[in-house]
Structure 1
Amino acid sequence: MTETRSETRGTSVIVNVLDVLRCFTVQNPVVGVTDIAEQVGLHKSSVSRILATLEQEHVVERDEETRKYRLGVGLIAIAGPLLANLDVRQVAYPILGDLREATGETAVLNIWDGSESVSVEQLPSTHLVKHTSVMGSRYRSGLSATVQVFLANEDPQRCAQLLANSEIDLQGMATEEYLARLEFVRERGYAVNYGETSKEEVGVAAGILDHRGELVACAMTAAPFYRIGADELEQICSSTRTAARRISTRLGYQQEA
């Protein structure tokens, strides 16, 4: 009987800890002891003890100014094995749907195979005239939006090798000029192909990062050139970047403050 009561008590403690952790949400990432106590139905002293233990393990961290708590990087270590096995295509799919709805254009997911950008998911525009490609299409043009993003985040030596061996088609652009362009892409976090690979196409791509902060894919919006003016391009850039950030967050990436 004593063993049973002890087991029940232990289970209750675990449930309380999980209830406390569930109080931290995307909408409310920073929460105080009082708010947590009200949500989970525990005394504030009990919540404080749980948070103190979690803070020691870096699962939560306390903001020194507000004295409230947020989730800590220790949680990433715990969730790492799960996050590492998440299928980026599965995670990205509903967000690509939101991207298509926001822009009205085709939303695409691309991955990098070491020398080419490969499309692995595509949600076509609902417009009668749209820009689409065959699933699994490969791109090696240096002016392709996704290739720009991947190369901007590639190991510098590997990038130099790809350019030196002409594995990436620069379409007449000088290597020095192209490397400067990649630096610009790296700084702003997205790339634009405004009719450069094809006079009929506009592409905007933004990188997707996993829980390790490593680039694993690109979200891209593709559209017919004639439909995209300056205002439309700005909106597509914003929406594509937002979609990439959302997918990154779902994969466990923590945005810098």
Structure 2
Amino acid sequence: MQVSETREQDARLLFETVREAGELGRSMARTDVQRWTKPDGSQVTEGDLRINDLFEATLKPQRPGYGWLSEETPDDHARMAHDRLWIIDPIDGTRAFIERRDEWCVAAALIEDGRPVAAAVFRPMVDEFYTAIAGKGAFLNGGALVIPDSISLAGARLAGNRKALSSLEALGIRGDPSGALPLQLRLAYVAAGRLDGAVSIGNRNDWDLAAGELLVLEAGGAVSGTSGEGYIYNRPEPWQQGLVAAGAKRHAAIVKHLRTP
């Protein structure tokens, strides 16, 4: 599939900025960064804010006509007037960053007409750089990703919250409810075949999903809410209802089970 020159240029800009942002995060990791508690009880660090500033200082001047949505920037519904939108998660896995573990990443996606068309997820501490462009495939450090798939869920390695996993236990899954991996890395791991699926019940923020969704789709998988409906981004409320991500056959089996009374 041919990709327009504009999208190719946007993707290169996105990839370069995510890598630079990840290197900034790596330089701050395992140091005594300042941290605060947000009104919703989640934590934010000096690293989150500095990486967000880097994204803003790089992307906004170069693409002034694009909308903006980031976990660390107050939402402005003016974004909805734009056909193209950057969705940024400066650090997904802030707790791991604070605890000086390596299960955190920098993630960003470009949305066009409500759908992701370019994405990158960078796990700097282990040098894993995931990229995808719509119609061009998904890659890890330059190597193409293809999701292994099966109609059976017996023995499938699924990461998710306890509510979602408990509803699938009768199918013989191997569930991981620990929550050690942030959502973007769970999606990246599905794309890379390290997990057979990711499931979650409840609202999930767009910045936790958009980049990883494109990785899974371009690796041959499927992503949706628990009802089976696909995601549309750049809506008034920046969240989606649940998550099911897996190879296409497993995805269909999971959704069917979750929808069965």
Q: Hey, which of these two has a bigger chunk of helix by percent? A: 1
TM-score by length of 2: 0.26
TM-score scaled by length of structure 1: 0.26
Q: Larger C-alpha radius of gyration, 1 or 2?
A: 1
Between Structure 1 and Structure 2, the one with more strand by share is 2
